[in-house]
Amino acid sequence: MALPTAAAKMSSLPALRRQHLLAEFAGLKQACPSGVFVSLTPGDPSLWSGVIFVRKGPYATAILRFQISFPDTFPSLPPLVTFSTDMFHPLITPLTTYMYTTDVQDGGTVSATDEERLPPGGFSLRHGFPDWFGRAGRRSRQVSSQTQTPQSTPPRPGRGSGSARGGDTPGSAASEAASEALAMNAKRKDVSTYEVLRYIRSTFDDADVLDSVPLEAAGNPGAWHAWRTYRRQAAAAPGGTGSGTGVGAGKALPPEPGRTGDGVAARKPGEWNWDGVWEERVKRGLAGCLSEPVLYGGAGAADEVINFLNMDEADVEGAKKTLLRTLGAT
């Protein structure tokens, strides 16, 4: 019964969008960010499964599973990236919560509607791709779409209804929306899946990228504060200054309100103490993602598109020799 369902999903996708996603995936076979592997979900080219092998930096040795769900309007609107691997990271919403906005207005966070929330495990792309986000841009695209198409389409699960906010005069709203949409389109360039994957990987293996993430773009504000505290303490330690590309290298970040330049907290009674939190939580996350039940089996393993085999050293060496012979032959 699964085959007709998959076939129906394939046929329901717009042909141009289907071809675009398949072309993007084919391109990744030739050039994919190092350590990143993706696979198509059978019967649904709009849902990709992926694995990141982190080989350096703050999250080195982690093996992380994620999915990318592409909306009907990609690349005009961003994909939804969700991690199934539990990891304490400034840009990943905790798996146990559903609480953080992906929108920003006037430089600050705002109350999130359902269409703006990141789901559990959701990865915030707001820092890497700011042109994809903002209520004004979304409203412009929604109103512009309504002026062209009198019939509304049902929303996808997890998305909003797509209707414009009420209270405006229809004519003036459409004119304003058209102007804003033109401005947004002129500024925004199409983003490739390669760029998205490369950015996601960089937030795990490059400490400088994490240092540049503002609080309003974080998916996990607690992890953001813990990371900043860790970096300041590492910089204050003897020999702690460095390039900032590794977990042991500190960087002289500007002090946050209520903190001194050496990372010593000037906390008020009842305020959270972030000292040591990042190190402990990430250490726990690394141990969890490398455990045998997570890598080789366990609950939900049958649903994974990408699976790993538990091989001994002899099997690994044999596989390497076979691969080298194959590469040499080609």
**Domain boundaries along the sequence of the chain:** 1-129+191-290, 131-189
Triad 272, 277, 278: Cα angle to 5°: 130
DSSP 8-state assignment for residue 306: S
Q: Quick check: 63 and 53 in contact, CB under 8 A?
A: yes
Question: What pLDDT digit, counting tens, does each position of 18-74 carry?
Answer: 888 889 989 998 889 999 999 998 888 899 999 999 999 999 999 999 999 998 888
Question: What pLDDT digit, counting tens, does each position of 149-198 carry?
Answer: 443 333 443 333 333 334 444 455 555 555 554 455 445 568 899 999 99
Q: For position 17, what pLDDT does the model report?
A: 79
User: 174-197 as b/e, with b when 16 or more CB fall inside 10 Å?
Assistant: bebbeebbeebeeeeeebebeebb
Residue type for 277, please? V
Does the pLDDT at position 284 exceed 90? yes
Residue type for 97, please? T
Residue 310: Cβ within 10 Å count: 9
Q: For position 251, what pLDDT does the model report?
A: 53
Q: For position 20, what pLDDT does the model report?
A: 84
Residue type for 280, please? E
What distances in angstroms separate CA 98 from CA 89, 114, 221, one per listed residue? 15, 10, 13
Q: Quick check: 60 and 42 in contact, CB under 8 A?
A: no
Classify domain 1-129+191-290 at the CATH superfamily level.
Ubiquitin Conjugating Enzyme (3.10.110.10)
